[in-house]
Amino acid sequence: MLSLFLLRHGQTEQSRANRFCGTLDPPLTEAGRTMAEAFADAYGDTPWQAIYTSNRRRAITTAAPIAARARQTIVEEPALGEIAYGEWEGESLDEIAVRFPEAFNHWAEDPANRGTPGGETAFQVAARAIPIIERIRQHHRDGNVLIVSHKATVRIITCALLQLDVRLYRDRIGQPVAALTVFDFKERGPMLRMLGDRSHLPKELRDLEGT
């Protein structure tokens, strides 16, 4: 049986301030790096078949400690990157809602079909990310595989694997920084075993501001 672990990267300045951060490439904060080490401490004895990340340094840096312990080479997959937010990159969600209420509400009502100005839709993210999941399933029939990716991307993948309406990814799936979601692929399909878990983090890291 294949167990697929979906880990969101650790804290960045943008996640701490709840800013749109898709194609931007910020580093982890000190707290974010500690989150990565905490995950490696908790899952260092897990026998990993492979470790995949997006090509953003916040994902790669989060994966680095566990990859070192597992003696695995990180496989970068650009298609696992975060949803692109176009003209809203770097802006806070609250600021955009106030400055452009009509555009914000138009997007928020149906983010699966409607991208931010110049950005991607959730369906577009699913179209590029799900084939990677299928490829991983073909290459790794059993064992444990780790994917380190991003908030929206993990939520969209989760909806797709559960056959939930992808339009609901922002309303039904929680995935804070350094949170872990796990699927076991059984004969009848993917079984959700864990959703948005952060028990591997010390309480002071779980209580930080941001998203």
Set out the domains of the chain in order of their start, with CATH numbers: 2-206 (3.40.50.1240)
pLDDT band at 209 (very low <50, low <70, confident <90, very high): confident
Residue 192 reports pLDDT greater than 90: yes
Q: Using the 8-state DSSP alphabet, how is residue 147 labeled? A: E
pLDDT of residue 43: 98
pLDDT of residue 176: 97
Residue 211 reports pLDDT greater than 90: no
State the pTM of this model: 0.96
Residue-by-residue DSSP string for 62-85:
HHHHHHHHHT--EEE-GGGSPPP-
- The beta strands (E) that lie in the chain are given as 2-8, 48-53, 74-76, 143-149, 180-186, 189-197
pLDDT tens for each residue of 36-62:
999 999 999 999 999 999 999 999 999
Q: What is the dihedral of CA 150, 155, 160, 166, to 10 degrees?
A: -120
As a whole-number percent, the residues of the chain with pLDDT over 70 amount to 100
pLDDT of residue 210: 87
173-195 mean pLDDT:
96
Mean pLDDT of the chain: 96
User: Amino acid letter at 207?
Assistant: D
